[in-house]
Chains A and B, each alone.
Chain A
Amino acid sequence: MSGVELKNVVKTFGDIEVIHGVDLTVEDGEFCVFVGPSGCGKSTLMRLVAGLESITDGTIRIGERDVTKLDPALRGVAMVFQTYALYPHMTVEENMSFGLRMNGVPKDEIRRKVSEASRILKLDDYLKRKPKALSGGQRQRVAIGRTIVRGPEVFLFDEPLSNLDAELRVEMRVEIARLHKELGATMIYVTHDQVEAMTLADKIVVLRDGRIEQIGKPLDLYNDPDNRFVAGFIGSPSMNFLAADVRTGAIQSPALDQRLDLPSGKPADGTRLEVGIRPEHLSIDADGSYFRIDLIERLGGVSYVYLTGQQGERVIVEEGGSSRLQEHDHVGLAFNAADLRFFDADSGSRIR
Chain B
Amino acid sequence: MAVYGWSGKRLGQKSSAALLLTPFVVAYLAFLVIPFLNGIWISLHNWNLMAVAFDPNAKEFVGLRNYERILWGKNIVWSPAASPLVQWSAAFVLLSTLLLTAFGKISRGTAVLVGSIALILFVACGFHPGAGGRWYDRRFWPTVGNTILFVALTVPSITIISLSLAVLVNRESRAMAVFRTIFFLSQVLSVTVVTLIWQLLFSPRQGLIANVITLFGGSPIHWLTDERFAMAAIVITTVWWSLGIAMILFLAGLQDISRDIYEAAALDNAKGWRAFRHITLPNLKRTITLVVVLQIILHFQVFGQSHLMTGGGPNDSTQTLVRYIYQTGFRDSELGRATTMAVFLFVIMGAFSLVQFLLGREDKD
Q: A72-B266, A73-B266, A89-B283 are in contact. Are A83 and B260 (CB under 8 A)?
A: yes
Residues of B contacting A51 in the complex (Cβ-Cβ under 8 angstroms): 266
Q: A83-B258, A88-B283 are in contact. Are A52 and B269 (CB under 8 A)?
A: no
Interface contact B260-A85, CB-CB below 8 Å: yes
Residues of B contacting A78 in the complex (Cβ-Cβ under 8 angstroms): 267
Write out, one digit per residue, whether chain A residues 53-84 have a CB within 8 A of any chain B CB (1) or not (0).
00000000000000000011110011101010
Interface contact A73-B269, CB-CB below 8 Å: yes
Question: Does B279 sit within 8 A of A, measured CB to CB?
Answer: yes
Residues of B contacting A222 in the complex (Cβ-Cβ under 8 angstroms): none
Interface contact A72-B267, CB-CB below 8 Å: yes
Interface contact A50-B267, CB-CB below 8 Å: yes
From the candidates A88, A89, A99, name the one contacting B268 in the complex (CB within 8 A).
A99
- Chain A: which residue is nearest B262 at the CB level? A85
Q: A83-B258, A89-B283 are in contact. Are A98 and B263 (CB under 8 A)?
A: no
Question: Does A258 sit within 8 A of B, measured CB to CB?
Answer: no
Q: A83-B258, A87-B261 are in contact. Are A73 and B278 (CB under 8 A)?
A: no
CA distance A276 to B146 in the complex (A): 86
Residues of B contacting A16 in the complex (Cβ-Cβ under 8 angstroms): none
Interface contact A79-B267, CB-CB below 8 Å: yes
With most chain B CB atoms within 10 A of its CB, the pick from A50, A52, A78, A150 is A52
Residues of B contacting A135 in the complex (Cβ-Cβ under 8 angstroms): none
Residues of A contacting B267 in the complex (Cβ-Cβ under 8 angstroms): 50, 52, 72-73, 77-79, 99
Write out, one digit per residue, whether chain B residues 245-279 have a CB within 8 A of any chain A CB (1) or not (0).
00000000000001011011111111100100011
Question: Does B23 sit within 8 A of A, measured CB to CB?
Answer: no
Interface contact A79-B283, CB-CB below 8 Å: no
Interface contact A52-B266, CB-CB below 8 Å: yes
CA distance A103 to B274 in the complex (A): 11
Write out, one digit per residue, whether chain A residues 99-112 have a CB within 8 A of any chain B CB (1) or not (0).
10011000000000
- Chain B: which residue is nearest A89 at the CB level? B282
Q: A87-B279, A89-B283 are in contact. Are A81 and B263 (CB under 8 A)?
A: yes
Number of B residues, CB within 8 Å of A: 18
Question: Which of B257-309 touch A at CB < 8 Å?
Answer: 258, 260-261, 263-271, 274, 278-279, 282-283, 285
Q: A52-B263, A79-B264, A98-B278 are in contact. Are A85 and B258 (CB under 8 A)?
A: yes
- Chain B: which residue is nearest A74 at the CB level? B269
- Chain B: which residue is nearest A98 at the CB level? B268
CA distance A51 to B271 in the complex (A): 13
Interface contact B261-A99, CB-CB below 8 Å: no
From the candidates B264, B266, B271, name the one contacting A87 in the complex (CB within 8 A).
B264
- Chain A: which residue is nearest B261 at the CB level? A85
CA distance A79 to B265 in the complex (A): 11
- Chain A: which residue is nearest B266 at the CB level? A72
Shortest distance from the beta carbon of B262 to any chain A beta carbon, whole Å: 9
Residues of B contacting A88 in the complex (Cβ-Cβ under 8 angstroms): 261, 283
CA distance A77 to B265 in the complex (A): 13
Interface contact A102-B269, CB-CB below 8 Å: yes
Interface contact B268-A81, CB-CB below 8 Å: no
Residues of B contacting A99 in the complex (Cβ-Cβ under 8 angstroms): 267-269
With most chain B CB atoms within 10 A of its CB, the pick from A81, A83, A85, A103 is A85
Interface contact A98-B258, CB-CB below 8 Å: no
Shortest distance from the beta carbon of A254 to any chain B beta carbon, whole Å: 52
CA distance A72 to B282 in the complex (A): 23
Interface contact B271-A73, CB-CB below 8 Å: yes
CA distance A74 to B278 in the complex (A): 19
CA distance A78 to B263 in the complex (A): 11
Interface contact A102-B263, CB-CB below 8 Å: no
Write out, one digit per residue, whether chain A residues 30-56 have a CB within 8 A of any chain B CB (1) or not (0).
000000000000000000001110000
CA distance A102 to B267 in the complex (A): 10
- Chain A: which residue is nearest B263 at the CB level? A52
CA distance A87 to B268 in the complex (A): 11
Residues of B contacting A73 in the complex (Cβ-Cβ under 8 angstroms): 266-271
Question: Which of B108-146 touch A at CB < 8 Å?
Answer: none
From the candidates B260, B269, B271, B283, name the one contacting A81 in the complex (CB within 8 A).
B260
Question: Which of A328-346 touch B at CB < 8 Å?
Answer: none
With most chain B CB atoms within 10 A of its CB, the pick from A51, A78, A79, A146 is A79
Residues of A contacting B271 in the complex (Cβ-Cβ under 8 angstroms): 71, 73
CA distance A85 to B264 in the complex (A): 7
CA distance A17 to B82 in the complex (A): 72
Residues of A contacting B278 in the complex (Cβ-Cβ under 8 angstroms): 87, 98, 102
> Measuring CB to CB, which residues of chain B are less than 8 angstroms from any residue of chain A?
258, 260-261, 263-271, 274, 278-279, 282-283, 285
| A-B contact list, 11 entries, CB within 8 Å | A51-B266, A71-B266, A71-B271, A72-B263, A79-B267, A86-B261, A86-B264, A87-B265, A87-B278, A102-B274, A146-B264
> Measuring CB to CB, which residues of chain A are less than 8 angstroms from any residue of chain B?
50-52, 71-74, 77-79, 81, 83, 85-90, 98-99, 102-103, 146, 150
**8 more A-B contacts (CB under 8 A) besides A83-B258, A85-B264, A98-B270?**
A50-B267, A52-B263, A79-B267, A85-B260, A86-B261, A90-B282, A99-B268, A150-B268
8 nearest A-B residue pairs (beta carbon): A99-B268, A73-B269, A85-B260, A89-B282, A85-B264, A102-B269, A102-B270, A72-B266
